[in-house]
Amino acid sequence: MTELESGSQELLRGHQLILVSNRGPYDFEVTEHGLERSRGSGGVVTVLGPVGRYARPVWVAAARSEGDRQLAAEQGREPIPVEEGDASFLLRFVGIPPSVYEGYYNVISNPLLWFLHHYMWDTPREPRIGPEEWDAWGMYVEANRAFARVVSEEVRRAERPIVLIQDYQLYLVAGELRREHPDLTIQFFLHTPFPSSDYLRVLPLDMRQALVSSVLSCDIAGFQTNRSAVNFLRAASSFLPDVRVDYDFGIVHHDGRQTAVRIYPVSIDPETVRELAHSPEAERELEFLAPYFCEQNIVRVDRIEPSKNIVRGFEAYSVLLERHPELKERVRFLAFLIPPRPGIPEYDRYQDEIMAAMGRINIQHGTSYWHPVQAFVGNEYVRALAAMRRYDVLLVNPVIDGMNVVSKEGVIVNERDGVLVLSEGAGSYEQLAPLPTSVSPADIEGTADALYTALTMPESERAELAARLRRKVEQEDTARWLDAQLRDIESLSVELS
Ligand code: G6P
């Protein structure tokens, strides 16, 4: 594992990191053998997990399951020490009544904010912000306050704390905290894209102002891409009075404070990902997958989620087989799909559309012994990593997305000099471009062409491209992501309390 820069190590020795995210590193389930722990799913946990190797952060997260709530009740206000390999955390749960969690998570965070951040609303019709949504907004405020109360307790007992708040579920935490801790170092980091001001106007002004001004009570606001950072600067000057934005230096002056707006593209720890991709479990998965691999394989790994653009990806593959029938029985599409967030009708509809698209392709292009598309639905991280060792093409074609860490994992574990077909909407595009196989996400023809280019690329060209991308991801790994943030915390001469 890459080491942190010495400046970062020193900073971490003298300060207590407090990570704050809705989902924590582990889910606890009540089973007949007692409480059982499993790895929390989702991108945020993948990205923050390695931080536990460099520091022993307090990690504040919502108690989401019955198991979490039980554990939280047993532990009271004492954080729970959790060790895993060489990572360790002090886990602190936030108790939120399930009825409040429902409005906070299932109405405001998803779908309202998630859909807004990914441009997914069909705006002539939706969203409709009526009494139910306003009630849920009250719950979002309440849940964020509950988080702020717990973080505040941790801040009071920590030595020189630095608070790192993650993502759109927790926009309001910083504002709450700042009232009590005027000198505390607070950073907010958004893992999703930040939308343009025109699109954000779909939210009522009160909501927009609350979100943006809370982020401005931080010392630093971090984003994945330049595009998101610029959108945020524009939102600050469009929606709040008495704000001065310095676009050259990425600084917002507001209420007598300064907020630095910075770009920190999240990454992975290549060594850890490689180890997992070669673990005994991964070898077993490869054996299981062996009968499904074809001469050449297009692979994708995504949660079932409209912003991932899975249906258009299948349609592009169908066009490819139409144009190049010689590829039939030689090129298969293996899709590793993680089940969608439950309880959101749009996701259920999208899942149906995916299954229908797959069915059409298998009927149109398949034979009795060859299925062009094979999907594996489940939360099987190691299986997906194992499969990515063998891709010839990795398709990552989101409409718009935060980072698409999978594009980095793929580049690191692949063993066939496979080619990445990457959408301009992917967060990783800013780092990994230019690519001979980049695509515009709605362009089905263009995506079919890119798949063909990738499948037929001369070996030397593929090897050169794969090596360049590998170097890039190795150089810009999680340690560098953390270094950049810690360096900024230090160099902004923020008053560390
Ligand atoms: C993805 C996104 C994160 C987001 C998370 C929420 O991983 O990249 O930005 O926080 O989803 O997922 P959840 O399942 O916890 O709602």
Which of the pair, 42 or 325, is modelled with greater confidence? Answer: 325
Q: How many CB atoms lie within 10 A of CB 383?
A: 20
251 forms beta bridges with 246, 260
Query: Which amino acid is located at 334 in the chain?
Result: L
Is 23 touching ligand 1 by the criterion CB < 6 Å?
Answer: yes
Does 295 lie in the same domain as 244?
Answer: no
Q: Using 50, 70 and 90 to split pLDDT, how confident is the model at 25?
A: confident
| Atom 6 of ligand 1, nearest CA residue | 42
Predicted local confidence at residue 488, as pLDDT = 95
In the chain, pLDDT over 70 holds for what percent of residues? Answer: 99
Indicate the range of 114-118, 360-364, 487-491 predicted with least confidence. 487-491
Which of the listed residues 38, 108, 192, 225 should we mutate to test ligand 1's pocket, taking the one with most ligand atoms within 8 A of CB?
192
Q: Using 50, 70 and 90 to split pLDDT, how confident is the model at 319?
A: very high
Is 446 touching ligand 1 by the criterion CB < 6 Å?
Answer: no
Predicted local confidence at residue 27, as pLDDT = 85
Cis? peptide before 81, omega within 30° of 0: no
Query: Which amino acid is located at 356 in the chain?
Result: A
Predicted local confidence at residue 1, as pLDDT = 63
The tokens of 334 are what? Answer: 């293996």
Looking at ligand 1, which atom is closest to the CA of residue 46? 7
User: How many domains are there within the chain?
Assistant: 2
- 68 Cα to the center of ligand 1, angstroms: 18
Predicted local confidence at residue 175, as pLDDT = 98
Does 488 lie in the same domain as 471?
Answer: no
Predicted local confidence at residue 2, as pLDDT = 77
Q: Using 50, 70 and 90 to split pLDDT, how confident is the model at 493?
A: low
Which of the listed residues 19, 20, 23 should we mutate to test ligand 1's pocket, taking the one with most ligand atoms within 8 A of CB?
23
Predicted local confidence at residue 34, as pLDDT = 86
Is 427 touching ligand 1 by the criterion CB < 6 Å?
Answer: no
438 forms beta bridges with 422
For 404-458, the pLDDT digits (tens) are 999 999 999 999 999 999 999 999 999 999 999 999 999 999 999 999 999 999 9
Q: Answer whether residue 371 shows pLDDT above 90.
A: yes
Q: Is residue 1 part of a domain?
A: no
Does 281 lie in the same domain as 400?
Answer: yes
Q: What is the mean pLDDT of residues 12-27?
A: 93
First to last CA, the chain: 31
- 337 Cα to the center of ligand 1, angstroms: 15
- 271 Cα to the center of ligand 1, angstroms: 23
In DSSP notation, 181-233 reads -TT-EEEEE-SSPPPPHHHHTTS-HHHHHHHHHHHTTSSEEEESSHHHHHHHH
Q: Is residue 257 part of a domain?
A: yes
Is 192 touching ligand 1 by the criterion CB < 6 Å?
Answer: yes
Is 44 touching ligand 1 by the criterion CB < 6 Å?
Answer: yes
- 323 Cα to the center of ligand 1, angstroms: 37
Q: Is residue 132 part of a domain?
A: yes
Predicted local confidence at residue 495, as pLDDT = 46
Does 487 lie in the same domain as 470?
Answer: no
Q: Answer whether residue 494 shows pLDDT above 80.
A: no
- 214 Cα to the center of ligand 1, angstroms: 20
Domain range holding 83? Answer: 6-267+479-496
Q: Can you give the CATH number for the domain in which 389 is found?
A: 3.40.50.2000
For 424-435, the pLDDT digits (tens) are 999 999 999 999
For residues 482 and 477, what is the distance between their CA atoms, to the nearest angstrom? 9
The tokens of 231 are what? Answer: 């959108």
Which of the listed residues 191, 194, 406 should we mutate to test ligand 1's pocket, taking the one with most ligand atoms within 8 A of CB?
191
Does 293 lie in the same domain as 394?
Answer: yes
Q: Is residue 437 part of a domain?
A: yes
Does 276 lie in the same domain as 253?
Answer: no
Q: Using 50, 70 and 90 to split pLDDT, how confident is the model at 86?
A: confident
Q: Answer whether residue 148 shows pLDDT above 50.
A: yes
Rounded (10°) angle between helices 226-239 and 205-215: 120
Q: Is residue 280 part of a domain?
A: yes
Q: What is the mean pLDDT of residues 241-264?
A: 95
Q: What is the mean pLDDT of residues 172-192?
A: 97
Predicted local confidence at residue 43, as pLDDT = 78
Which helix (H) or strand (E) covers residue 405, if one does? Answer: helix 405-413
Q: Using 50, 70 and 90 to split pLDDT, how confident is the model at 496?
A: very low
